[in-house]
Amino acid sequence: MTAPRALRDPLTWVVLLLLALLWALPRGQAFFAFLFPWLERPIYAQESFLSLAGAHLALVGASSAVACLIGVTAGIVVTRPIGAEFRAMVTAIVTIGQTFPPVAVLAVAVPVMGFGALPALIALLLYGLLPILENTVAGLGAVPEAVRDAARGIGMSDAAMLRRVELPLAAPVIIAGVRTSVIINVGTAAIASTVGVRSLGLPIIIGLNAANVAYVLQGAVLIGLVAVALDLAFERLLQRVQRWQRL
Amino acid sequence: MIEFEGVTRRYGDTAVVEDVSLRIEKGEFFVVIGSSGAGKSTLLRMINGLISCSTGRIRVDGHDIAALKPEALRRRIGYVIQSIGLFPHWTIARNIGAVPELLGWSPQKIRTRATELLGLLKLDPAVYLDKYPHQLSIGQQQRVGIARALAADPGRLLMDEPFAALDPITREALQAEIAGIHRDSRKTIVFVTHDMNEALTLASRIAVMDRGRVIQVGTPAELLIKPANDFVGAFVGRDDAGLMLLATEKVTARMRPGGVDGGPSINADANLRQALSRMLLTRAERLGVVDGSGRRLGAIHIGDLVRR
């Protein structure tokens, strides 16, 4: 007898492991005291890991949602005849956004906008935009000319062709871009804690300042697991939109 | 009815289609032939408004197409292309139902129609309805392409070198299929090809194009007997024109009744060129003509091929 599908799925196990760690870490005093006997406080206890993980996901979710909206929309516009002349310019701007290190964006944004979530959101947005835009443009560009010709020839309007044919065919490539963007942002969101935003980066920043290796380890492991879980979730989504190709 | 009135299409300074005036009657099988770059595909794609006229006018059933909504026009004209262009993420059923879906038919009615059309194009609906295009051979895909074009029962079909990418056997099968569909439905078909044999087999009339202009329009026999100039002569294959002319007629057209002897025979569906070929191969000066079940209908003599 085979195990139920959920049990054979690595995603289930990673999510369970993440939840287990969120529960167990605050209770692991003895374990971390054993690993790091020289530390006076071997467990980050200023805030619960659960609420930090929630804040981390909210930050990534909000910035990625806006990046998707802007990136996919811009990708659609510059691949239409109307927006074709803006293509080089838009790509250049977004590429520049990507080359700015997020720390530098924070350093510039904080004096202007003050501490808080907004500068962090902007830094993550700029950083996550490029893969989404590039993949949207590439995915739409890869729709075979014959398919476009047929769609137009049988009487689809431009809007219908985009919605029924071009976007579904480009979806795997676009989703791959979103996946890259989200995974990058899960890591980058940790840096946002340098400007006082709550995220799983907080234990790492505080740990680095206070030479507390245990804090750094706890933050890093949780961030890593969040990234792996999201990556597996995107893998699942990709398989779903590509199902027809495997028949 | 499709009319071209002084139609020109320019890209920059080059005219791809130049001053074309044509009248394609309802129910015709109208073949446009020419070497590549002659402008025949452009001409075809102007009929459903995929390419607009620089000057001149195209009328479909008397309506100037420039005044019609392009999407509405295209939904009433079937469109089949060489590269097929099935939607790879849709099942065969949904591909065939693409136009009915745009026209707002009920899912039930679309499914029934798709089943019916697969049957018409000799693909088993039970096997193919829910497959995806990449699971089919190219020949099967083009059968689906034709089914998609027929789905909303348009009065006209535009076909842009639909069989050029197929192997000879599949091509012949699909030529027979489309000839049968034309015979049974009397749809107006405008068909672009660069293959003279295909044109002669299918066409009720042929237009020969060269460098954007229509050089000659006529029945296959007219083109073969009286080519308008050297270009048309070369295109119809001057040396073989007589043989091609034979290919445009069925043996039944010149068959004599009776004849009881055995000896070599030929099917009544064959054309005169095939009959001549058979005579040469069997060293016989006459052939029995038989129907599908082998019943003798008459005979054809070698002299009958030359007779006018």
Is residue B107 scored above 80 in pLDDT?
Answer: yes
ipTM of the complex model: 0.85
Q: Any CB–CB contact under 8 A between B98 and chain A?
A: yes
Question: Is the Cβ pair B50, A153 closer than 8 Å?
Answer: yes
Flag the least confident range among A104-108, A166-170, A197-201: A104-108
> Which of B42, B47, B89, B142 should be substituted to probe chain A, the one whose Cβ sees the most A Cβ atoms within 10 Å?
B89
> Which of A143, A147, A148, A154 should be substituted to probe chain B, the one whose Cβ sees the most B Cβ atoms within 10 Å?
A154
Evaluated on CA atoms A93, A94, A96, A100, the torsion sign reads positive
Q: CB–CB of A119/A113 below 8 Å? A: yes
Share of chain B above pLDDT 90, in %: 74
For residues B282-300, average pLDDT: 88
Instruction: State the nearest Cα–Cα gap between B163 and chain A, in angstroms.
Output: 15
Residue B139 pLDDT grade (very low, low, confident, very high; cuts 50, 70, 90): very high
What single DSSP character describes residue B250? B
Q: CB–CB of A185/A60 below 8 Å? A: yes
pLDDT of residue A194: 84
Domains of chain A listed by start with CATH number: 55-241 (1.10.3720.10)
pLDDT of residue B79: 97
Evaluated on CA atoms A96, A99, A102, A107, the torsion sign reads negative
Q: Which chain A residues touch B74 with a CB distance below 8 Å?
A: 152-155
In whole angstroms, what is the distance from residue B14 CA to residue B20 CA?
Answer: 15
The reported pTM is 0.85
Q: Any CB–CB contact under 8 A between B48 and chain A?
A: yes
In whole angstroms, what is the distance from residue B139 CA to residue B144 CA?
Answer: 9
For residues B37-53, average pLDDT: 95
Q: CB–CB of B88/B132 below 8 Å? A: yes
pLDDT in tens, A47-100: 889 999 999 999 999 999 999 999 999 999 999 988 888 888 888 888 887 787
Is residue B261 scored above 70 in pLDDT?
Answer: no
Structure tokens at B189: 């078909």
Is residue A1 scored above 70 in pLDDT?
Answer: no
pLDDT in tens, B70-91: 999 999 999 999 999 999 999 9
Mean pLDDT, chain A, whole residue set: 90
pLDDT of residue B62: 92
Q: Which has more pLDDT, B239 or B44? A: B44
Is residue B57 scored above 90 in pLDDT?
Answer: yes
Residue type for A159, please? A
pLDDT in tens, B141-161: 999 999 999 999 999 999 999
Q: Which chain A residues touch B88 with a CB distance below 8 Å?
A: 144, 147, 169, 244-245
Q: Which chain A residues touch B73 with a CB distance below 8 Å?
A: 155
In whole angstroms, what is the distance from residue A33 CA to residue A42 CA?
Answer: 6
Question: Is the Cβ pair A144, B99 closer than 8 Å?
Answer: no
